[in-house]
Structure 1
Amino acid sequence: MSIPSYKKETTALLFVDPYNDFLSEGGKTWPHIKGIAEEVGLIDNLRTIKQAAREASIQIVIVPHRRWEPHDYESWSHPSPSQRTVMRGHHFARGEWGGEWHPEFAPQDGDIVAKEHWGSSGFANTDLDLVLRQHGITHVILVGLLANTCIETTARYAVELGYHVTLVRDATAALSKKMMHAAHDLNGPTYAHAILETSELVKALRQG
């Protein structure tokens, strides 16, 4: 895959699920992804990409998972295994620390926060597609969590909707190396237009 060029007028950085539960010490999911996150340098890479996107005037869009509230999913006919996990563990609980933004990745003025997604796709049953199209976005770069669930599902959906999609190997994490391998080496090449390292993406943004 070649490295694309990214025009500031038509490119958006989709930052998926930047919650304390995912990215902060003490978060409910952090212990399960910490090994891989530290191995790939996730936090530093997210900092680098966020700064590069701002310097390049790339639109940043926060793509948040549903913040758990009491009775979520309990009466559903077919909650997914992931939704059952959230129901039991109260991940990203609304009004609690775990459901707050990681302090370094909270939305800033000019950023867009899409409506919360209930499943894995940031597009399904949200306003994400509408917001992107209203801002003239054609290219999306996905970072955040998790590589093989919300990142992959949102990216696949984006391709189906006609967007140019970039994945960033070391700006995400998963529960195991096998899941990372599946996301980037097995599945990613079947739909993504580019799969980059943070250094490659930053260079491309600066040249864009």
Structure 2
Amino acid sequence: MLKPNYDRRSTALLFVDPYNDFLSEGGKIWPHVKEVAEEVGLIANLRRINEAVRDAGLGVFIVPHRRWEPGDYECWCHPNPTQRAIMKRHSFARGEWGGEWHPDFAPRPGDIVVKEHWAQSGFANTDLDQQLRQHGVTHVILVGLLANTCIESTGRYAMELGFHVTLVRDATAAFSREMMHAAHELNGPTFAHAIVTTHELIETLPPAQD
């Protein structure tokens, strides 16, 4: 993979699913990702990236999963396994703490909050593609949860639409090391243009703006 060039005018951070249920102690899904998240230093790395991209003047796009509401998926013909799990545990419930933003990663003025995705890709049935193109974005950097589902699906879809895709291997997590391995060593190289660490990403960003 070639070393990417991130122009601040055409590069954006896609922060996928920064909900309390995923990223906070007490969240419904945090216990499932905690071991891997702590092993890679997820929260600290997300904080570093979140500040670094803003200092560099890159756009930030929040890419949220559908917040569960009563009745969601119940009459669907083909709910996927994740959606069936959401029906059971009510992940990211609208109006509840778990469906609120992690306090360190809440949208700030100027951020774009994309319409909520129902499945795994942040592009399917949302305005993400239109928002990126209207803001002149050609390069996307993906962070958030989960490495082998929403991050992978969103990244692969971005590649199909012609975007340059960067994955950050220690700014995401999954339910197991095997899933992380699949996401970054097996599947990621088939669609991503760059797979980097947080340190490598920050070193490559444009210099901080005054």
Q: Where on the TM-score scale, by shorter chain, does this alignment land: which range?
A: over 0.9
Which residue matches 1:92?
92
1-side partners of 2:111 and 2:207: how far apart?
22
Structure 2 gap segments, 5+ residues each: none
Q: TM-score, length-normalised on structure 1?
A: 0.99
Runs of 4+ in 1 over 2 A off after TM superposition: none
**How far did residue 5 of structure 1 move?**
1.2
Distance 2:26 2:35 in 1: 14
Separation in 2 of the partners of 1:70 and 1:137? 36
What displacement does 1:2 show? Answer: 2.6
Task: Compute the RMSD of aligned alpha carbons.
Answer: 0.8
Cα distance between partner residues in 1 of 2:52 and 2:68: 32
* Residue 47 (1) aligns with residue 47 (2): yes
Q: Which amino acid aligns with 1:96?
A: E
> Secondary structure of 1:167's partner?
strand
Between the aligned residues of both structures, percent identity stands at 72
Contact 1:5 1:207 survives alignment (8 Å): no
User: TM-score, normalising length from structure 2?
Assistant: 0.98
Letter aligned with residue 150 of structure 1: C
Aligned 1:1-208 pairs, distance under 5 A: 1-207=1-207
CA displacement, residues 102-122 of structure 1 (integer Å, 9 cap, x when unaligned): 000000001000000000000
Deviation at 1:86, TM superposition (A): 0.3
What code does the residue aligned with 1:54 have?
A: R
Post-superposition shift, 1:100? 0.1
Gaps of 5+ in 1: none
> How far 1:3 moved relative to its partner?
2.1
Contact 2:18 2:101 in 1 (8 A): yes
How many residue pairs get matched? 208
Contact 1:49 1:198 in 2 (8 A): yes
